[in-house]
Structure 1
Amino acid sequence: MADSALKLLDEAGLPGELRLRQKLALVAMVGAGVTRNPLHCHRFWQQLKGQPVEFTWQSEEGISLVAVLRAGPTESLIQGLHQSLFRAEKRIGLMLFGKGNIGSRWLELFAREQTTLSARTGFEFILAGVVDSKRSLLNYDGLDASRALAFFNDEAVEQDEESLFLWMRAHPYDDLVVLDVTASEQLADQYLDFASHGFHVISANKLAGASSSDKYRQIHDAFEKTGRHWLYNATVGAGLPVNHTVRDLIDSGDTILGLSGIFSGTLSWLFLQFDGTVPFTDLVDQAWQQGLTEPDPRVDLSGKDVMRKLVILAREAGYDIEPDQVRVESLVPAHCEEGSVDHFFENGEELNEQMLQRLEAAREMGLVLRYVARFDANGKARVGVEAVREEHPLAALLPCDNVFAIESRWYRDNPLVIRGPGAGRDVTAGAIQSDINRLAQLL
């Protein structure tokens, strides 16, 4: 082999010499197409981490990956490679509930990341179903995420709740994960059943996390009892690591003393855009058209969405709080609370006039309007419009930004601040994907 290499160099007119180097070891993975298999490549390079590698090489034909190491015990390395390459992969089925703004964006993201995700985790992730409020598209063999919506329109069938549940319970996977990107109370009510049947849940739906304390504890206890996981980082701050941070502080021995900030990317966008030149409800319509609001924008304007986020975050901080303890200022006029979304937009004059008056009053004092959430250790909680100074951290934002100020024993004088985009399809879909990554680590 060495003579052949030297001959090739000589024929190419390149200088070369043969030298004997001792105490080196060669480890190779050989097989058809191994260099083009992302899972095999990932596992090979992962096993080489921390090894005394001299150089690596891969064949042009794609049949081998080679590493030369400084001599040392290679038995554990070879054993690790065998275990990594030939272990049975876990098959994880994913059931997507909701195919609207967030669901459609997640399908696009998953289609791009599916191969990489499997290579990184060693699990095979299979899109088993897409479900909306009326129909479902199901296939144990898996759906093509990049074409699932097109297939859904043509092939989805009406399916009652009982038959759908039976199909899910009969799944052939090692684990089944429910991805809830709806605003459905009916689906949130099924979390207890999901846990009892061994399903994991990843949720952007806030209703379960902000339900009554008794129900919230029942859901948590059910998942803990069955060894399943309920992950919901997407419920607060979209893709921002807010729940993770609060949970990590508590687990590390800190005590949360207060939470405050702008918890709604939608209301952040609205109040930053609102300068009196465009009616407030016209801005709401723009945000709705861009997918920045809930399916019914009155959920955002009512303050209920912010209230739910505050309740979820306070509970994550270790406090027992009921949703009705939060004082909520709604921006929805009483006569617009019922009826269709179109009815709300057609009857927004009262809200437009009220908001313009509040804006002008704030301007006279050199202040700006923001929709703020606050919670303290005494259990006092409020969400509503506040007038703040222009230089205040809650004022100097980019459109759609969320700001979360966490006051704790460790961060008493200078609160820990998390800031970034808190609304939009992409960041929320990314938060769902992040929780899938976290679930893979937990499994």
Structure 2
Amino acid sequence: MYILKFGGSSLATPERVKLVAKTIQEHLKKDAVISVFSAFGGVTNDLLLMAELAAREDLSYKEILEKNEKRHLEAVRELIPVTAQSGILSQVKNQFNRLETLYEGVYLLNELSDKTRHVVSGFGEILSSLIIAEYFKSLGLDSLFTDTRELIVCKNNNEKVLVNYQATNRNITEFFSENKADFYIVPGFVAKNDHGVPSTLGRGGSDFTAAIIAGALDLDKVLIYTDVNGMFTANPNLVPQAYSLKNISYEEAMELSHFGAKVLYPPTLQPLLDKNIEIHIRNTFEPDHPGTVISKSSKKNFRWVTGITHIDAIKLLNIEGSGMVGIPGFSKRFFEILFQEHINVVLITQASSEHSICIAVKADEAEKAKEALDEAFEAEIAFKKIKPVEIEENVSIVALVGDRMKSHHGLSGKMFSALGNNNINIRAIAQGSSERNISAVIAKKDVTKALNTLHEQFFEVPSKELNLFITGVGNVGSKLLDQLKKQENYLLEKLRLKVRVLAVSNSRKMYFDEDGIDLENWEKALIEGETADKKEFFKRVKEFNLRNSIFVDNTASSEISNWYKEYLANSISVVTCNKIACADAYENYANLQNLAREYGASFLYETNVGAGLPIIDTLQNLIASGDQIRKIQAVLSGSLNFVFNNYDASSPFYKVVETAMKEGYTEPDPKIDLSGVDVARKILILARESGLELELEDIERDNFLSEESLNSETNEKFFELLEKGESEFKKMYEDAASSDSELKYVAQLENGKAKVGLQKVGEQHPFANLSGSDNIVLFFTDRYPEQPLIVKGAGAGADVTASGIFADIIRIGKK
């Protein structure tokens, strides 16, 4: 004999009821079937809501009652032929008449008792089972309707259900031995108490109904049909990568269901454990999927951790004080008070110093618990031996569950390290002696990030998801997006990095997509986006609250660089080619470094100096390995190098600058490059990375442009002044050429001082013969005193800058 249970989601519409019928008919081909039915989806919630409204003298309950009656009558008309409808329509109307009478009583008395609440909440299962029984009769299948209220005897005590198994098992065995049929229809959830008064088995009690019957009849298994493919490694609504588990143990199922897995009602396991009756969780809408088998052993699982789950509706209660230390019986009094108030403790943690006790309780019981505890310890509080109980809200519990966890070392460390690396603060920790569960209390806002972080850590093929929020999609930004698209498969297959772009922005528009932006069509999406707003951009990134979030700045905007501290302080890494932040006041530069360390975020700016060249990385590695920087000489401006490599006095100087600007070698305002400010910022950054506390005004600058051109307000005026000064540029070139030298704009750091300026370089100098926009850096150190360590290569251009940003993103992925 099979016993099948169908939940409300499987019965939400007449079409779904028809699908359920097909599943039942397949089982009937093999053996007799007992089918346990929940109420139609959402009905039980409505029944309880109507009771609450009636108790508050809110007549809107009548509209909900009318809507539900109409829904059930329409189900009858759609499922059952017209010629067979009259009897069941009469039964349905009779049930709703009884409901109406009950609600009127609640309304008139302005009181809702637990007894009435249990009575009204059970009508949904009776109604659905009556209609479905008549539907099967119309299909030519004789079914025997079995009122579970005549079989199951229980007592409800403050939402805790106590089944009288002796009486219940006797009733069930007698009924099924005296009433032989191929198909039994059983309403779930409902029962009666010892006095014959209608009662229920608690929310989700239809699972429990099936388990009680299976246990009484010694069946082999219970098949629970729902709307998902079994129990998952995590909540699939919050963790898209979660997948269904093939096998888990009773204990694991109990832990997962207790901690919020909605697929199974926790008491369901009680009648099945001793008899080793399996539970099969199946999907009504994918009947061929194997689902999850819950049995005595989960040895078929190859992972140490079976699942990750969480509880939302909790609050923390904390009591502390010196008056608790060394006082025998304090904990006994504490928990005895909660017991007397019928308050269930979800999690307990106590400091070894005995100075504090922290517990988690259901959110709606927290105030009640505080009042009871404060009253009980009134004397101790008055004498300041302990503090009044404090309630902490907006918290949740996340938990790792698995039978095999106790056989594996380091799981707690991996769990807490993964959470810590994503700035998820742990408020309390609990681990049972069975080591089957490790629980941590965290902020509710971090639940989704925590679940995804832990799932990535324990269940997914070793890979890491990086979530990018990119501002600046001009020359550099667009090249970066092209590179990310091109390398998407390589990153996933070779580096195990899944890189998603969730936002793009320019100075006019910004566009967000929490599922990831299609990099083939990002330009179109951005055009259709909303008005750009730096504050709103940050707010949205913060609200997404995703693990491994990275803010990428491809601009030269000081306004945007001012937001770095906000991102870092929220554990959002920053990758930038924008030099302004690192060349700002030293105090601000140091603050950004400190924020990155304090909040576990990365602050990477390799492209600030030398575009894609590993200049800063090389310098940091030298210092980290204990080397001492003695001198740095460098050509650090790809734009200036391009200009002086291409200027030979045969074509005007301003024309060469125009070409450099058009080809993306200069900033949008070329004065930034030609004034030497850009180079000064770069040598300042290298000085600070070397350990010097210099400011930008400490950098000596030797300008080769006139003050008038440097102070010009527009690019048009600037180029006009360059054209007028052509004779000066020609003279500089000819002076250098006459001594077989080249003009290079050189930056130098030595003895704690830095300077930048135009210099003549001979043919034998390492700076000679630099082609195009190449950069070169000479590091003179204790290890490289005579022959410097040289880094040389392309130091400007959108492609190489984008590749440098790309490399910084990969560095974060490899952390």
Pair in the same fold by TM > 0.5: yes
Q: What corresponds to 1:330 in structure 2?
A: 703
Counterpart residue type for residue 380 of structure 1: K
- Cα distance per residue 1:202-248 (max 9 Å; x no partner): 01010111111111111111111111110111111111111111110
Cα separation, 1, equivalents of 2:779 and 2:794: 17
Q: What corresponds to 1:133 in structure 2?
A: 507
SS in 2 for 1:106: helix
Counterpart residue type for residue 741 of structure 2: L
Change (3 A) 1:390 1:134: same
Counterpart residue type for residue 687 of structure 2: A
Counterpart residue type for residue 355 of structure 1: F
Return 5+ residue gaps in structure 2 as ranges: 1-301, 307-456
Equivalent residues of 1:203, 1:235 under 8 A apart: yes
Matched, 1:266 2:630: no
Task: Output the aligned Cα RMSD.
Answer: 2.1
Q: What corresponds to 1:354 in structure 2?
A: 728
Q: What corresponds to 1:396 in structure 2?
A: 769
- Cα distance per residue 1:13-69 (max 9 Å; x no partner): xxxxxxxxxxxxxxxxxxxxxxxxxxxxxxxxxxxxxxxxxxxxxxxxxxxxxxxxx
Cα separation, 2, equivalents of 1:217 and 1:146: 39
Deviation at 1:87, TM superposition (A): 4.9
Counterpart residue type for residue 510 of structure 2: S
Matched, 1:432 2:805: yes
Cα separation, 2, equivalents of 1:341 and 1:429: 25
Larger Rg: 2
Equivalent residues of 1:178, 1:200 under 8 A apart: yes
Select which of 545, 549, 557 maps to 1:176.
549
Q: What corresponds to 1:370 in structure 2?
A: 744
Q: What corresponds to 1:14 in structure 2?
A: none
Matched, 1:119 2:525: no
Deviation at 1:159, TM superposition (A): 3.6
Deviation at 1:364, TM superposition (A): 2.4
The 10-residue stretch of structure 1 (395-404 or 142-151) with the greater mean CA deviation from structure 2: 142-151
SS in 1 for 2:659: helix
Deviation at 1:341, TM superposition (A): 1.1
Counterpart residue type for residue 765 of structure 2: H
Q: What corresponds to 2:576 in structure 1?
A: 203
Deviation at 1:163, TM superposition (A): 2.3
Deviation at 1:90, TM superposition (A): 4.4
Matched, 1:102 2:476: yes
Cα separation, 2, equivalents of 1:362 and 1:259: 24
Counterpart residue type for residue 122 of structure 1: R
Deviation at 1:379, TM superposition (A): 1.7
Deviation at 1:351, TM superposition (A): 3.5
TM-score by length of structure 2 reads 0.43
SS in 1 for 2:584: coil
Equivalent residues of 2:464, 2:813 under 8 A apart: no
Counterpart residue type for residue 467 of structure 2: G
Matched, 1:92 2:493: no
SS in 2 for 1:115: helix
Return 5+ residue gaps in structure 1 as ranges: 1-77
Counterpart residue type for residue 95 of structure 1: F
Counterpart residue type for residue 335 of structure 1: E
Counterpart residue type for residue 135 of structure 1: K
Cα separation, 2, equivalents of 1:367 and 1:79: 68
SS in 2 for 1:387: strand
Cα separation, 2, equivalents of 1:96 and 1:391: 43
Equivalent residues of 1:303, 1:331 under 8 A apart: no
Cα separation, 2, equivalents of 1:233 and 1:79: 40
Could you list the runs of 4 or more consecutive aligned residues of structure 1 that deviate by over 6 angstroms after TM superposition?
A: 82-85
Change (3 A) 1:305 1:85: same
Cα separation, 1, equivalents of 2:621 and 2:553: 24
Cα separation, 2, equivalents of 1:181 and 1:160: 16
Equivalent residues of 2:507, 2:532 under 8 A apart: no
SS in 1 for 2:800: helix
Deviation at 1:88, TM superposition (A): 8.1
Deviation at 1:191, TM superposition (A): 1.0
Change (3 A) 1:89 1:410: closer
SS in 2 for 1:178: strand
- Cα distance per residue 1:303-353 (max 9 Å; x no partner): 011111111111112222111111112344322323111221122234422
Equivalent residues of 1:181, 1:204 under 8 A apart: yes
Select which of 520, 523, 530 maps to 1:157.
530
Give 1:31-430 correspondences, 5 Å limit: 86-87=460-461, 90-153=464-527, 155-336=528-709, 337-376=711-750, 378-430=751-803
Counterpart residue type for residue 775 of structure 2: N
Equivalent residues of 1:331, 1:351 under 8 A apart: no
Change (3 A) 1:434 1:368: same
The 10-residue stretch of structure 1 (278-287 or 325-334) with the greater mean CA deviation from structure 2: 325-334
Deviation at 1:287, TM superposition (A): 0.6
TM-score by length of structure 1 reads 0.78
Higher relative contact order (CA 8 A, sep 6+): 1
Counterpart residue type for residue 222 of structure 1: L
SS in 1 for 2:499: strand
Equivalent residues of 2:505, 2:532 under 8 A apart: no
- Count of residue correspondences: 363
Equivalent residues of 2:742, 2:761 under 8 A apart: yes
Counterpart residue type for residue 653 of structure 2: F
Equivalent residues of 1:333, 1:350 under 8 A apart: no
Using the aligned pairs only, state the percent identity. 31
Counterpart residue type for residue 559 of structure 2: Q
Counterpart residue type for residue 500 of structure 2: I
Deviation at 1:85, TM superposition (A): 7.1
Counterpart residue type for residue 110 of structure 1: L
Equivalent residues of 2:556, 2:578 under 8 A apart: yes
Deviation at 1:273, TM superposition (A): 0.9
Cα separation, 1, equivalents of 2:532 and 2:799: 29
Cα separation, 2, equivalents of 1:123 and 1:380: 42
Cα separation, 1, equivalents of 2:766 and 2:464: 46
Equivalent residues of 2:579, 2:682 under 8 A apart: yes
SS in 2 for 1:291: coil
Equivalent residues of 2:534, 2:560 under 8 A apart: no
- Cα distance per residue 1:256-297 (max 9 Å; x no partner): 011112111111111111111011111000010111111111
Equivalent residues of 1:259, 1:374 under 8 A apart: yes
Equivalent residues of 1:298, 1:332 under 8 A apart: no
Cα separation, 1, equivalents of 2:797 and 2:685: 20
Counterpart residue type for residue 569 of structure 2: S
- Cα distance per residue 1:100-152 (max 9 Å; x no partner): 11011111101101222133343432101111122201111111123212332
Equivalent residues of 2:568, 2:601 under 8 A apart: yes
Cα separation, 2, equivalents of 1:400 and 1:304: 17
SS in 2 for 1:404: strand
